[in-house]
Amino acid sequence: RETWAGKYEFLLSCLGYCVGLGNVWRFPYLCYRNGGGIFLIPYFIMLLVTGLPLFLMELSLGQYGAAGPITVWKCCPLLKGVGVAMLIVSSLVSLYYNVIIAWAFYYLGSSFQSPLPWSCDAPRNADLCQVGGPQAGSVAGSGPGVGCCWARHHMRTGEVVSVGRSFACSRRGGSGLGDPGPVQWPLALCLLAAWILIFLCMLKGIRSSGKVVYFTATFPYLVILILIIRGATLDGSLNGVRFYLSSNWGRLQSAQVWSDAASQIFYSLGIGFGGLLSMASYNKFDNNVIRDTLVIAIGNCCTSFLAGFAIF
């Protein structure tokens, strides 16, 4: 079985596999819901108690078995169904995760338009949009000085929604699963582009993906750094940081906080999906798997902590 061309390719591949929406999107939300920075205590405890052992186990199975998530269970045929379940779960996750990537492509393309389609200056919003502020606060439903754009989406009911939400809803053709509506071709093309990009990255297996990760695994850190610098220049940025690092010790008595911490560790590290096992199967037999476990898992959690500053 072929092996990684360089020692950093595996580390960057696993780090890129782990770092994603769970770090930038879900972790800050859980911090906000569970009392701010105090959530970091159960989060890192769950990392030590559950995350690191399971992470090490999955990497070890792949590295010493030199096989994928299905064939590796020849060592214990009774657990072969675990590998099948990993494959099914990964397949289902890839379906919806690529839809999110398609949304990102669509918004990336739309961001080059002038004016922005989710701003009050856009032609479709000009007649129904007001900028929230001291005068518009009572009309638009926002507090004084909010400074964001709002649109009256339904004039007869007086419902007020953000322009961004109105723009997103306009991309949906139907009302739900029972009424999907017509195909939204811009989004469909973005989804096709996402799958084509993945195909090209995986065209030659680890020979091609191992080179791509030098960009894909490091670029998110540049984006997070830019967001932190931009956020630090905004008014009230210190208030967000204070809340993020606040300590409401009473929250530690809530079972929900510990449950959220455990679920976030599993979700963020990507344990049980088979991806870690597959990538580790291309390691050399004598690779230091304990070192890799510590570097990847701790690096992933530190990324979540850093992303919290960007969001708050």
Report the b/e string of 208-223 with b at 16+ CB within 10 A: ebbebbeebbeebeee
Give the per-residue pLDDT at 277: 93
DSSP E strands in the chain: the ranges are 129-131, 149-154, 159-162
What pTM did the predictor assign? 0.79
Residue 44 in contact with residue 277, Cβ under 8 Å?
Answer: no
Give the per-residue pLDDT at 34: 86
The residue to which tokens 């070192």 are assigned:
291
pLDDT per position as a tens digit, 1-42 = 788 888 899 999 999 999 888 888 888 888 888 888 888 899
Give the per-residue pLDDT at 173: 57
Kindly state whether residue 201 falls inside one of the protein's structural domains.
yes
Kindly state whether residue 143 falls inside one of the protein's structural domains.
no
Kindly state whether residue 132 falls inside one of the protein's structural domains.
no
**Residue 190 belongs to domain spanning:** 7-124+170-311
The neighbouring-strand residues paired with 179 are 176
pLDDT per position as a tens digit, 33-73 = 888 888 889 999 999 999 999 999 999 999 998 888 999 98
User: Is 268 annotated in some ligand binding site?
Assistant: yes
Give the per-residue pLDDT at 174: 58
Kindly state whether residue 305 falls inside one of the protein's structural domains.
yes
User: Is 62 annotated in some ligand binding site?
Assistant: no
**Number of domains forming the structure of the chain:** 1
CA angle 304, 56, 288 (to 5 degrees): 105
Give the per-residue pLDDT at 136: 41
Kindly state whether residue 160 falls inside one of the protein's structural domains.
no
Give the per-residue pLDDT at 147: 44
Kindly state whether residue 39 falls inside one of the protein's structural domains.
yes
User: Is 163 annotated in some ligand binding site?
Assistant: no
Give the per-residue pLDDT at 142: 39
In the chain the first and final C-alpha atoms are separated, in Å, by 45
- Torsion on CA atoms 294, 296, 302, 303, rounded to nearest 10: 180
The neighbouring-strand residues paired with 159 are 154
User: Is 125 annotated in some ligand binding site?
Assistant: no
Residues 6+ positions from 13 with CB-CB distance below 8 Å = 4, 206, 209, 210, 213, 217, 279
Kindly state whether residue 44 falls inside one of the protein's structural domains.
yes
Kindly state whether residue 217 falls inside one of the protein's structural domains.
yes
Report the b/e string of 80-102 with b at 16+ CB within 10 A: eebbeebbeebeeeeeeebeebb
Instruction: Using 50 as the pLDDT threshold, list the residues of the chain that sit under it.
Output: 133-148, 150-158
User: Is 248 annotated in some ligand binding site?
Assistant: no
Helices 237-244 and 289-311 pack at an angle, to 10 degrees, of: 140
